[in-house]
Chains A and B, each alone.
Chain A
């Protein structure tokens, strides 16, 4: 697999380019401990993708899919909710889940750009879900061996969920790829559109290097080949071609540098909570 051309254009090397970005502080956007910053990246990926997936409810191609995507959103939301209070306990701020979700500004979010992108068509969502769930399967498999019992516990529960997510996405990618001419064309186009946002998942930033060094986390780059292998098996069966490279790639999410849709996502998600400071719901 290692000799394979990487379809996600990842260098598998620390993302040095981030250092030149304004505001990419050494200890992460809020100066948290690297372990906390690492876990915040995982939690924010789950939280933001849950938010995006929940937008499908009442908009899916069939009612079963309204339920299924809602279910996946609920699982991811649950993963974020399990991690946030724990992060609050280790970063010394004592923040709770809503402090993280509702009261942080865009620059303090550490999710990758992949999950914040606006909802496209159903093929776009299945392409994103296929990659993200394949990544999460490898991630949580590795994290079940974390030296941190809480992280290992969260990963153990999440692993059962994300295997189902991967299964769900795989079935749809195969159906769409090997369905009609139109669905094949759309699914192929979606695989190409998602490509620039994948490399970020496998960047080793300082927080992940430190977390991996402590045995708490795992080096993102170490997941790359297995994830690509999982995705390629599905696209092969689906008679689709995994695109080889894109002319650009997203970067900066883990350092709090986000793409345009992120601010709007937060505005919508946080508006009510922020309009009533200190209120409980």
Chain B
């Protein structure tokens, strides 16, 4: 019921419903996943083979992946908050059930990704500490507030849509556990994106107040969604630094930020038309010559400001995480203590 009843399921609504995803998902492992390869790292990369946990890999490759996978996991966990904020207020029981399931999925994605990161030699507790201490980031999109019910639709449609566009190429990432995680995550995100579209679809066919709510949400989420692809990272713009070039060489990253952003815009504009939502960009128009939509300038000043901590919800998101974690410390300690007691009891009875 994630929207398939109102829109043609055969028309792709997001990147996980395109051939690029199918190809990545069809990847067959060239060797047993648990074994270390006799070939060197460079040879595996050159042959477009996946690197597995027991393979030798450069420290920088390992660090880059830990940072990226952890950031991705943190984004799932922090990303539970904006929509979690609406579970108790969902306007119908069907919507409440869907929203609970969706936030659960996000928790599951977080756990799945922390496990992928753990294959690189870090543990989840350590990564969570880094999140809570501000040493590792999460996607800046979650520093925006969810002001109305329609925001849940806009997040599913635009934010999950943009995330999928970023993540489908990661299904071909050179690091096996991350690639396999992405194959699964993208499939679930695809449901999320459809349910977001369906929320907006329903609102746009509802009362005047509902239509206004949907339009307002789209107005507020469109530009932050475009910024999710990151600043331009090729040509002149890339000279400020960044990890793109090395990540491309290592098969972690496959497309430039601007390429993915363009694909996203091209995919979303017809969907906005279908919804009856006007995207908040006067410069948005089809360019026959390029075969793409032209769009206006993104406010990178705002992007950097929010990324550096001065967004509407940065402090709130981290504080929420920190306090839930701190309030639960005695529970986790008890579980550890009980497990230790049980282990020693087993030992005693075995002796």
Contacts and interface: CB of A to CB of B under 8 A. Distances in A.
A54 B328 contact: no
Given A67-B108, A122-B328, A276-B210, A281 B92 contact: yes
B77 interface: yes
Interface in A189-227: none
A276 B212 CA distance: 13
A40 interface: no
Interface of B is mostly: helix
Contacts of B90: 272
B202 A280 contact: yes
Nearest to A121: B327
B88 A74 contact: no
A63 interface: yes
B103 A57 contact: yes
Interface stretch (B63-71, B279-287, B292-300, B329-337): B329-337
B88 A269 contact: yes
B267 interface: no
Contacts of A175: 334-335, 338
Contact of B332 (A51, A62, A174, A281): A62
Interface residues on B, range: 35 or more
B214 to A, nearest CB: 12
A58 B202 contact: no
Contacts of B331: 61-62, 65, 122, 176, 183
Nearest to A271: B89
B217 interface: no
Nearest to B90: A272
A279 B107 contact: no
A176 B337 CA distance: 9
Contact of A273 (B92, B103, B324): B92
Interface string A43-78: 000000001001101111111111100110110011
Interface of A: 51, 54-55, 57-67, 70-71, 73-74, 77-78, 80-81, 97-98, 101-102, 121-122, 174-176, 178-180, 182-183, 186, 268-269, 271-273, 276, 278-281
